[in-house]
């Protein structure tokens, strides 16, 4: 088994847990690799000298059986971008705070490695958004696990986003921006803008306006078989579009279409995992702050 570890700017306090993870796999004769960004964080530690560093590019990553993302949900999103259409299973270890995607706590690392090696896991398919545009954007990484966003830039004025579903006019959103979220992304930016929570297995997109001018405008859930197109107007000549954490400026002449990506992200889940347990814990449901 080939296992790739990926992290970005890991704090020194977490180095011991990475060492524990590497040793757990190596004791079972598994080959462990790290990405260049993770190696930069651990190169001065005692376990780093013999670590194999994966060279950048699809050829190297193709040989991996699993990729372990070490960090927060942002690191896991970056991991999915690196994997792309290869659909290599990803396990998220949480060094951050919320961890809707990276759900394994540092205290559970040894048990997680044991379960992974023993095959005590399942793979959960997560749908992705795919961006089609009239000009190349994002260096070919035209997909996202969480959401696609249109946002105003360089002005305090609102923008107008004319939105169409399968060619049918939906609405003109006069707002700071517009989010098209996957079920996975429903716990992210869309949620902070008033969007609904959606189970990961649902086959939907959520269209959520960002600070809409008209208060009667609300998020809408549509089928992820839909194709969503936009026309943007505003006082500024430039707007921002983003896929997860990647963003780039465009002008109003760029044609934009969102649809479901042909491939999926495969997340490793262990028998004790429940999406609804995670919601209750992270959002403090059932917790009475008065007590």
74 belongs to an annotated ligand binding site: yes
Of 82, 70, 72, the C-alpha closest to 112 is 70
pLDDT on residue 69: 94
Q: Are strands 228-233 and 66-71 parallel, antiparallel or unpaired?
A: unpaired
Count of C-beta atoms within a 10 Å radius of residue 237 = 12
Count of C-beta atoms within a 10 Å radius of residue 214 = 12
Q: Are strands 31-34 and 2-7 parallel, antiparallel or unpaired?
A: parallel
Locate the domains of the chain by residue range. 2-126+264-283, 129-260
Work out whether the CA dihedral 13, 274, 76, 163 comes out positive or negative: negative
Is 73 known to be catalytic?
yes
Phi, psi for 277 (deg, rounded to 5): -60, -45
Q: Which CATH superfamily is domain 2-126+264-283 in?
A: Probable inorganic polyphosphate/atp-NAD kinase; domain 1 (3.40.50.10330)
Cβ-contact 150, 189 below 8 angstroms: no
192 belongs to an annotated ligand binding site: yes
Token pair belonging to 166:
């399968």
Q: What is the reported pTM?
A: 0.90
CATH architecture of 129-260: Sandwich (2.60)
pLDDT in tens, 232-259: 998 888 899 999 989 999 999 999 999 9
Q: Of these residues, 44, 73, 154, 288, which one is catalytic? A: 73
DSSP state, residue 184 = G
Of 217, 247, 260, 230, the C-alpha closest to 141 is 247
Look at residue 229 and give its three-state secondary structure: strand
176 belongs to an annotated ligand binding site: yes
pLDDT in tens, 264-273: 999 999 988 8
Cβ-contact 260, 169 below 8 angstroms: no
147 belongs to an annotated ligand binding site: yes
pLDDT on residue 289: 67
Cβ-contact 186, 197 below 8 angstroms: yes
4 belongs to an annotated ligand binding site: no
List residues bridging with 176 in a β-sheet: none
Work out whether the CA dihedral 17, 21, 22, 28 comes out positive or negative: positive
190 belongs to an annotated ligand binding site: yes
Count of C-beta atoms within a 10 Å radius of residue 73 = 25
pLDDT on residue 274: 81
C-alpha to C-alpha distance for 73 and 122, rounded to whole angstroms: 20
Question: Which residues of the chain are modeled with pLDDT < 70?
Answer: 44-51, 56-59, 97-98, 288-291
Cβ contacts of 180 within 8 Å, gap of 6 or more: 129, 147, 148, 149, 205, 206, 207, 228, 258
Look at residue 234 and give its three-state secondary structure: coil
pLDDT on residue 245: 87
C-alpha to C-alpha distance for 42 and 37, rounded to whole angstroms: 9
């Amino acid at each position: 088994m080939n296992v790739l570890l990926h992290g970005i700017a890991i704090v020194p306090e977490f180095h011991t847990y990475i060492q524990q993870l590497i040793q757990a796999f190596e004791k079972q004769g598994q080959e462990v690799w790290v990405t260049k960004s993770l190696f930069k964080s651990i190169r001065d530690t005692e376990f780093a000298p013999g670590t194999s560093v994966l060279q950048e590019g699809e050829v190297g990553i193709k040989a991996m059986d699993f990729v372990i993302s070490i960090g927060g949900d942002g690191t896991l999103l970056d991991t999915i971008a690196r994997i792309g259409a290869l659909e290599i299973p990803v396990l998220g270890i949480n060094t951050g705070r919320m961890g809707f995607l990276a759900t394994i706590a540092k205290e559970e690392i040894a048990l997680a490695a044991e379960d992974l090696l023993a095959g005590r896991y399942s793979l959960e398919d997560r749908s992705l958004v795919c961006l089609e545009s009239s000009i190349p954007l994002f260096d070919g990484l035209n997909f996202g696990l969480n959401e696609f966003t249109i946002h105003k830039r360089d002005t305090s004025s609102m923008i107008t986003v004319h939105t169409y579903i399968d060619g049918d006019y939906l609405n003109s959103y006069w707002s700071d921006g517009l989010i098209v979220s996957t079920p996975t992304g429903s716990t992210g930016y869309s949620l902070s803008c008033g969007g609904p929570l959606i189970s990961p297995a649902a086959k939907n997109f959520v269209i959520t306006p960002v600070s809409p001018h008209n208060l009667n405008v609300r998020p809408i859930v549509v089928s992820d078989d839909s194709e969503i197109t936009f026309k943007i107007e505003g006082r500024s000549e430039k707007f921002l579009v983003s896929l997860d954490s990647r963003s780039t400026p465009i002008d109003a002449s760029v044609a934009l279409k969102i649809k479901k990506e042909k491939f999926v992200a495969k997340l490793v889940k262990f028998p004790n995992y429940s999406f609804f347990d995670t919601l209750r814990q992270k959002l403090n449901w059932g917790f009475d702050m008065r007590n």
